[in-house]
Chains A and B, each alone.
Chain A
Amino acid sequence: MRSYTDLNLRPRKNTEEAKMMLGIAADIGYSKVAVSFSSEAGKEEIKKTRALCSHVGLDMVTRVDLQPESSGALLKALGNLRGRFEIIAVHCTTKDVSRQAAKDRRVDLLNFPHADPTKRRLYFDHQEAALACKSLCALEIDACSILNNDPVQKARALATMQKETTLAIKLDVPIVVSSGATDRYGLRTPRDLASLLTLVDVDSDSILQAVSEIPARIVERNRAKLQSSFVSPGVRIVG
């Protein structure tokens, strides 16, 4: 049986709403969720959220979202945080950050946020796709950027996403769709979330992989890397 993963939940810290949200996520079919923490989050905070997740039967994955202003800041943050978080997503707001993120093997997800609706956002271009396919980065489609827009902005966002997904598919860059939910009303069932990919021209036969196999593979790979027995890809201490 297929198991589903939502790689981007942002529940408010230790509130009743967070408990309810995680409970609903488990009820609607997710087995793993990535909870986004700030880079300063302590072990205690992560432990509490993990306890909430395991109480409702969810496997929690730790995630951090980076929004560096330069490629140097990104490299510094990656050095500090790669060993602490299972998923690292980079919000690409400048070209040099997106290029660096696309070629760095420590980055898991590339996210192109729609920060300023009056401006055309930075997009995932051919060069980034070529770099990302070698570094195993995945392109993240955030459902909340489709849902929380007025119709004209939504149409523009979809048009840009269509170009990005076409490129990603052409160059074999994995695509991940996540809810980006901050409360229970932002949650969608895994299949509903996957169905949103049909709006950005992803083949209906492969949409379910974006909420199941691909995110699970990323989590599994990073968990293996975070183990003390890991030496380098394909090499680990067994004895």
Chain B
Amino acid sequence: MGDRGHPRPGPEGADRGLDRGAIGLEVAADALAARDGLDRLAPLLEVLGDRPLLVHPGPTAGQEALRPMWWTPTVDYTAQLNAAWWAWADRGRARFPRLPVCFVALAGLGPLHAERQRARGGVDTPVDPLTFVETSSYGTRAVDAVLRVLGVDVICHGSDRPYAESVALDLDSAARHALTYANPARLLARSTQEVGT
């Protein structure tokens, strides 16, 4: 069991899941962002090979009853995802160079902090073609802002179902095609090849 009572399957369990048809694994953003997160997750990520990893918000502090219902997705989840985005940029990609990764909810807008990261001593690295973000319930303004930083090739159009429906993005047809078809196809390339065989 995990720290908060959530199941923490080992690599054998992940292997079995992938053998039974799972196309990848999902990990909690707070687990990836933790100081020893990569070390603890490494056995799972090694099982994945070049199958995709989805980074999704993990459990929060449990103060939801004291806050409006939008608080957790707007404040807690985005903070977790931002931390996970930078944890991956810091040491994750170098350790797992071939692993396709997708951060949900535009990685909590983590990519927009790049100027600040560089101003405070971070290194300017090229956009990583294997690190994707998914749009969740974000709309055109946030997607366009992230597109300006990451380019159009690593953003996948998703949804926040069952909490919020997919948002129709006010982008041109070429950008919509990239977000809806071309980019998810690259993210899931290994999985779709396997399904096709």
A and B from one complex: no
Mark B residues whose CB is within 8 Å of A: none
Mark A residues whose CB is within 8 Å of B: none
